[in-house]
Amino acid sequence: MLGQVYPFAALGKWSEVLDMVGALPPLAVEESRLAANAFLGIVPSIHINRGDVAAATASRAMFRGAEESADLQERASNGVGAAALARAEGRYADALESAKAAFEIRGMMGIGHEAVKDAFVEGVEAALALGLLRDAEEMLAIVEELPPGRLPQYVEAHARRFRSRMAILGGDATIVEQGFKSATGMFREMAVPFWMAVTMLEYGEWLVEQGRALDARALLDEAREVFDRLGAVPMLERLDKVSAAIGVKAGS
């Protein structure tokens, strides 16, 4: 059952994941390394994306000392969860440090490990929030330099949306649309709804800034449907701000 937690979370089956882990007996939680990985990283991320930071903190508190664990998976999962929590609390420097530490474990676990993939995402998100484009560039270069066939599609999709965001910051509008469209298509193909909707929102925000609100409408509408279904409150609030800016009522 615990082996299904990560794919269920990626597929947007968040309520199912929380029901699944909530049904575990205390002894199973305490003795299972798979449970540690879930409660340290995956479950907290769901709570954070639903706007419940307290629940994320409580989940991580179930396992102590994971940062010093001899088990690489526990350390990586702990780093991802710590990064996600720090980013949710606005502690971006701490988030970047934790994400980088988890991402370093790729040398022993491989870039395809779920915690390593999410560490890449958390790390670049934190770097961009801090305006540390060099740090973001370094992490992007690591994954983009991998030979064909070794780069997971999930990581590639994120790399493309990050490239679009960096192009926006750099004032290079020529590659923004291509990156967002490509990333959206890849997330859709993988059936990863949350990140597909996040990419649509980011793309829509940029279109609105370019005075292309009509082009953004369909993207924002689909993103809203996904966020509503997932209960992704922080993203819904962010989407509401864009909708208000173009005079669109929430849910209309």
Q: How much helix, strand and coil, in percent to the nearest 5, is found in the chain?
A: 75, 0, 25
Distance of CA 248 to the CA centre of its chain: 27
What pLDDT digit, counting tens, does each position of 112-154 carry? Answer: 999 999 999 999 999 999 999 999 999 999 999 998 789 999 9
Q: Quick one: angle between helices 153-169 and 133-144, nearest 10?
A: 150
Q: Structure tokens of 242?
A: 């864009």
Q: Structure tokens of 97?
A: 């440090």
User: Does 209 reside within a domain?
Assistant: yes
The pLDDT confidence band at residue 67, using thresholds 50, 70 and 90, is confident
User: Does 224 reside within a domain?
Assistant: yes
pLDDT of residue 27: 65
Whole-angstrom CA distances from 163 to 154, 159, 185, 215, 246 are 14, 6, 15, 21, 26
User: Among 118, 107, 93, which Cα is nearest to 42's?
Assistant: 118
User: Does 132 reside within a domain?
Assistant: no
DSSP 8-state assignment for residue 64: -
User: Among 96, 101, 78, 76, which Cα is nearest to 86's?
Assistant: 96
DSSP 8-state assignment for residue 38: I
pLDDT of residue 226: 98
Lowest-pLDDT choice from 37-41, 188-192, 229-233? 37-41
Domain carrying residue 219: 172-247
- In single-letter form, the type of residue at position 57 comes to T
Number of domains in the chain: 1
| pTM metric for this prediction | 0.93
Per mean pLDDT, which of 3-12, 34-43, 54-63, 186-195 is the most reliable?
Answer: 186-195
Arithmetic mean of pLDDT over the chain:
91
User: Does 188 reside within a domain?
Assistant: yes
User: Does 217 reside within a domain?
Assistant: yes
Are 120 and 143 a contacting pair, CB within 8 Å?
Answer: yes
Whether the pLDDT of residue 213 is over 60: the answer is: yes
User: Does 184 reside within a domain?
Assistant: yes
User: Does 199 reside within a domain?
Assistant: yes
Task: Please give the average per-residue pLDDT across 32-47, as a whole number.
Answer: 85
Q: Structure tokens of 221?
A: 């509408």
User: Does 198 reside within a domain?
Assistant: yes
DSSP 8-state assignment for residue 25: -
